[in-house]
Structure 1
Amino acid sequence: MRNIIICQFVMLSLFLVGCGSESEDTTKSLQPANGGRYYGGVFRLNESEYIKNLFPHNIVDVYSYRVAAQIYEGLFKFDQGGNLKVIPALAESYEVDDSYTVYTFKLRKGVLFHDDACFPGGTGREVTAEDVKYCFTRLCTQDRNNRAFDIFDGVVKGARAYYDATVGGKTPSTEIEGIKVIDKYTIQITLEAPNVLFLTHLARPQTFIFPKEAYEKYGNEMRVKAVGTGPYKVASIDEDIKIKLVKNDKYYRKDKHGNQLPFIDAIEINFIRDKKTELFEFRKGNLDMMYRLPTDYIIEILEETQVEDGGLSKYELQREPEMQTQIFSFMSMDGVFKDVNVRKAFSFAIDRKKILDFVLNGEGYEPGMHGLTPPSFPDYDITKIHGYDFNIDSAQYYLAKAGFPKGQGFPKITLDLNPEGDRHSNVALEVQKQLRDVLNVQLEINILPHAQITDKCLKGNFSLIRLSWVADYPSPQNFLWMFYSKYVTPLGENSYPNIPRYKNEKFDRLYEKAIASTSSVEANKLFMDAENLAMRDAPIIVLWYDECYRLLSSRVKNFQNNPMQYRDFSEVYFEPETSNASEKEGDN
């Protein structure tokens, strides 16, 4: 069988060499910059799903986040180079008082919004503290375009009072108590209590800064009419096919060599859903990066990238354990999965190791034997979290305890998923078989586009649904946020991020106490206690913890991989094909 697979791969390679037109070299006109770097070129990549919304307060999916992060910035951002620490962006500096509740931020001077028709004469103006106040006030306003109020709810002083006063579209007579403009470049934010993650929240996509003029002109159309301060701006959007971003010539940042950023002229994002087709395009040179590999070819690609001559040796393979967990979410508020015994039965019935080893060919970090939080945080030991190993006796015991001995009388269940290539549909087929063999229950698989899956998640219109929970900031809290019940709504109304609509008052108390901690050590201990509590109630099935396989053209430089798949293209550049890399100064 292995020889057959290798032969198939060789035939595929020959086909790619012999067929299809040669790709256009988008890096022919590279211009040298300081420090051995180069200006120019078009970076081409693919996403397996189309964006849902680029408006900061409405970003709930990773595909939209990756695009929006090139267009917008917040007061802070994440350091792409591996550690993902929070570093200043629009904020030049900040101070916090002795109570850890009063933050004073100094903004950079001379930062401009992108040129856009929303401004007089189409010329972007300077960012001021009033812009920060405007965006944060909108974040505390009830609106169908705002799904991110929880970031400030109970955190910023007066945020909840203001939010409640905006019901029905009303405009409050007072402003938010904890948000105060000191001068043109200084804003002060006062918290209800210390919050260990406050600066991290100011680097998240929901706190990106945008101009009032854009929101007033475009409204709902800010889903695609994105106006920010980032290194790239929107040039064109061809719905569901391609997005093109072009260089922001007025970007304020320079690199350590004094080069004006960014280096690359444009970014083209295609939306090819089939991973094998994406691999074809990458091999032909039509893409400069490929994130996630077709499961059938993982072993061969790993071998080929070790070869110095021929094959895939001209590509760089980057591997990194990810802050991403693959799960199935139960609908715990209604239906058969309202019973914790049914949820436990399903959790014990899944052979996760078999899925990772044989269905995914090892494309993952490790089986999901513990909680929702992945093994990506050195000070958070997930082996201490209650989990579910494959256990036939336990699975059958809990199903019988729920009133369905040997699966008798159990209704047919539908699993909703988007395939993301074929990896998730293949996993679903294996789970379907395992549930039938272990529990004698029937699982129907329903494959839908990503946008429909998102709507089902938000409205609770599912019994069992596939999710990929990806961190948009590096903390266990980002994962446990899914179980916090404060924002759970009735079925049919949007509930985010608590997709399973799980409720446990003791969990909520531990979670809130952890957030109010003044140290990450204390917070993580409380988060661990809360996660143990939630996992004993089995609101989700943890399938596996992901590992990032990313192929890059060898000409792409200074594009570090990281566990969050946070992407910052501002310092990425292309190297000419004839350039001698050994003569050039290394990048950090």
Structure 2
Amino acid sequence: MKKSLLPLLLAVFVMGSCSNDKDGKSENAEALIEAKGGKYSGGIFKYNESEFLKNLFPHNITDATSYRIASQVYEGLLKFSQDSLQLTNGLAESYTVDETQTIYTFKLRKGVKFHDNACFPEGKGREFTAEDVKYCFSLLCTSNPQQNQGFSMFQGILKGADAYYEASTGGKKPEFEVEGIKVIDPYTIEFTLLEPNSIFPYNLARPFTFIFAKEAYEKYGQEMRVKAVGTGPFVISSIDEGTSVNLLKNPNYYLKDEAGNQLPYLNGIAVKFLKDRKIELIEFKKGNFHMMYRLPTDFIIDIEEQSVKKTGEYGMYELQKNPEMAVHFLSFANQGKMFSNINLRKAISFGIDRKMILDKVLDGEGDAPGFWGITPVNVFPQYDAKSITGYTLNLDSANYYLKKAGFKSGADVPKIVLELNSDGGRNEAVASEVRTQLKNNLNITIETNVVTTATLIDNMIGGKSDLFRVGWIADYPSPENFLWYLYGKNVPAGPSSSSYPNMARYKNSKFDELYEKGLKAQTDADAYKYFLEAEKVAMYEAPIVVLWYDEAYRLMQPTVKNFPNNAMQYRDFTAVYLTPSKSEAK
């Protein structure tokens, strides 16, 4: 079935620069040069994000767009392999763990330099050392509501972290250091945990533990939202708020490939921010984007058929498709005036037809309807997520719990405001269907309020929304990353105090007990057992409404090489390269 696209208003890539090239690239930036081993160096990789970044400062990265961009600029001690998502070395050359499983000793790479930046004398980046790790991690253990959403990486895990955090409240400077962080020499650092913790190594690959320069933080402070100084393969060239972000190759990057070619291969990355996916598809077909992540719903069937058969206008492109470590749900404010009522939460949960949303609204662009828990059902083979009793459309149950909640009918329920971001229109379409279903099924009135991603996140963290839409994408491969959202000990006492990651402000002591046992487990099998029981406890109380588990659709130009898809949408452009198109080769 042939579809017509909307007329396109041409968008120009605006590329400012802090370098000598005002357009962010030299005349030959997009030229490709054949390198050793059949690779090509050069080129600018161009792609689109439907939502603008919120914050690139590592301790405040809470959205996927910011994470994907910051991952090219910053590095952690550990990182993930792009194909298998296995932990691998980042800024660490190696590490060991003692027999008690509580002392981790990291050997750091030598010769790694921070990006050249005005925060350094003469603008030249200095060498990275263990003192930088200590500085960043100590700052992560500091109480600062405006500049630290990531303390949970070390809370209750790293020895002395909680005491340091408490001593730093109100802007005070502790008179002691974090006990569990010890610099052995410039290239060796040691961490001591309170007890064994199954996720600690993963935490050292997450965005909150990216390493930045002390000089940058002292010079830029909260401006590090957009002024990023790391050690990664790319450097921020320019940021045009709401329009574009441009990265340039770090000429001093420390890695080379097996053939001796300097990494990264690419000269740069150009990110645009177009909200309309149909316009994005037009730009992709014109060759103005190398990748398109998520497809316009109306075109999925045509694109899938033609990419498989290698025919039609989409036959030349590579379609990458697999289940994602991502879940989409509505989150109640569980301690709020309205949704502290568990029976109202259950009534709404039983009043929504998730299969209709996936099949009709999303046109099948998803892995499965949200019939079970918060953890995606098809990405962790050893985790029996489908054993969790979730919620499906059941109007008898919905009306039963509505009356149990104290309402004669849905008409008696006060108007509910659902807050969401657009995400290229997809979230709005889903919200419209939810609103229609709850009105038709239960006579409950829902009003939607569409805001920017940054505003939505601020309102969720600040407790300003009663019902909000969440897209939760794992930043490391474990069910724990999803249950983390519901961990009660991350919830502050004050209703308006920042609550992250538990923006639902859900608290259940039994859940917390099982979750903590999972953290202390020595094997994945034991950890998964406790996590699964914890998830069953939480879902019985309906703290969220799971809508669907996501599936990754990525359309790739045939010139893009060495850029495997994965279930986490973890992107590392270090070894990605472009080849000449057929016309260029000719």
* TM-score bracket, shorter-length normalisation: over 0.9
Choose which of 551, 557, 578 in structure 2 pairs with 1:553: 557
1:372 match: 374
| Stretch moving more, 552-561 or 23-32 | 23-32
1:27 shift after superposition: 8.0
Contact 1:54 1:68 in 2 (8 A): yes
Contact 2:5 2:279 in 1 (8 A): no
**How far apart in 2 are the matches of 1:565 and 1:26?**
30
2:498 match: 494
| CA distance 1:91–1:230, shift in 2 (3 Å) | same
1:106 match: 107
**How far apart in 2 are the matches of 1:105 and 1:149?**
21
Superposed CA deviations along residues 438-491 of structure 1, whole A, max 9, x for unmatched, are 111111111111111111101111121111011011111110011111121222
| Equivalent position amino acid for 1:536 in 2 | Y
Superposed CA deviations along residues 178-234 of structure 1, whole A, max 9, x for unmatched, are 110101100011000001111100000000011111111111111111000000000
Superposed CA deviations along residues 277-336 of structure 1, whole A, max 9, x for unmatched, are 111211121111111111111111112223435411221111010000000001111122
**How far apart in 1 are the matches of 2:308 and 2:387?**
37
Contact 2:560 2:579 in 1 (8 A): yes
1:276 shift after superposition: 1.3
Contact 1:461 1:491 in 2 (8 A): no
**How far apart in 2 are the matches of 1:285 and 1:245?**
19
SS of 2:284's partner is: helix
| Equivalent position amino acid for 1:559 in 2 | F
1:514 match: 518
1:12 shift after superposition: 3.5
**How far apart in 1 are the matches of 2:263 and 2:459?**
40
**How far apart in 1 are the matches of 2:110 and 2:11?**
48
2:235 match: 233
**How far apart in 2 are the matches of 1:63 and 1:320?**
20
2:137 match: 136
1:579 shift after superposition: 9.7
**How far apart in 1 are the matches of 2:433 and 2:232?**
43
Matched, 1:576 2:580: yes
1:171 match: 173
Contact 2:158 2:192 in 1 (8 A): yes
2:423 match: 420
Segments of 5+ residues of structure 2 without an aligned counterpart are 14-24
Q: 1:116-515 counterparts in 2 under 5 A?
A: 116-143=117-144, 144-375=146-377, 376-489=379-492, 490-515=494-519
1:429 shift after superposition: 1.2
Superposed CA deviations along residues 339-362 of structure 1, whole A, max 9, x for unmatched, are 111101111111111111111100
1:564 match: 568
| CA distance 1:350–1:513, shift in 2 (3 Å) | same
**How far apart in 2 are the matches of 1:188 and 1:463?**
43
**How far apart in 1 are the matches of 2:249 and 2:486?**
40
Choose which of 539, 543, 546 in structure 2 pairs with 1:539: 543
| CA distance 1:355–1:258, shift in 2 (3 Å) | same
**How far apart in 1 are the matches of 2:460 and 2:172?**
29
| Stretch moving more, 256-265 or 547-556 | 256-265
**How far apart in 1 are the matches of 2:564 and 2:100?**
37
| CA distance 1:63–1:335, shift in 2 (3 Å) | same
| CA distance 1:404–1:88, shift in 2 (3 Å) | same
**How far apart in 1 are the matches of 2:384 and 2:507?**
24
**How far apart in 2 are the matches of 1:309 and 1:403?**
58
**How far apart in 2 are the matches of 1:21 and 1:191?**
51
1:20 shift after superposition: 6.8
TM-score, normalised via structure 2 length = 0.94
1:28 shift after superposition: 5.9
Contact 1:396 1:438 in 2 (8 A): no
| CA distance 1:275–1:78, shift in 2 (3 Å) | same
Contact 1:22 1:285 in 2 (8 A): no
- Give the root-mean-square deviation of aligned CA atoms: 1.9
SS of 1:306's partner is: helix
Contact 1:26 1:42 in 2 (8 A): no
- The number of residues matched between the two structures is 570
Superposed CA deviations along residues 116-160 of structure 1, whole A, max 9, x for unmatched, are 111111111111011111111101111120111111111111111
TM-score, normalised via structure 1 length = 0.94
1:586 match: none
1:262 shift after superposition: 0.2
1:555 shift after superposition: 0.3
**How far apart in 1 are the matches of 2:503 and 2:29?**
44
* % identical aligned pairs: 55
SS of 2:301's partner is: helix
Segments of 5+ residues of structure 1 without an aligned counterpart are 1-5, 582-588
Choose which of 48, 53, 56 in structure 1 pairs with 2:55: 53
SS of 1:481's partner is: helix
| Equivalent position amino acid for 2:33 in 1 | Q
| Equivalent position amino acid for 2:509 in 1 | E
| Equivalent position amino acid for 2:513 in 1 | R
**How far apart in 2 are the matches of 1:465 and 1:308?**
41
| Equivalent position amino acid for 2:169 in 1 | V
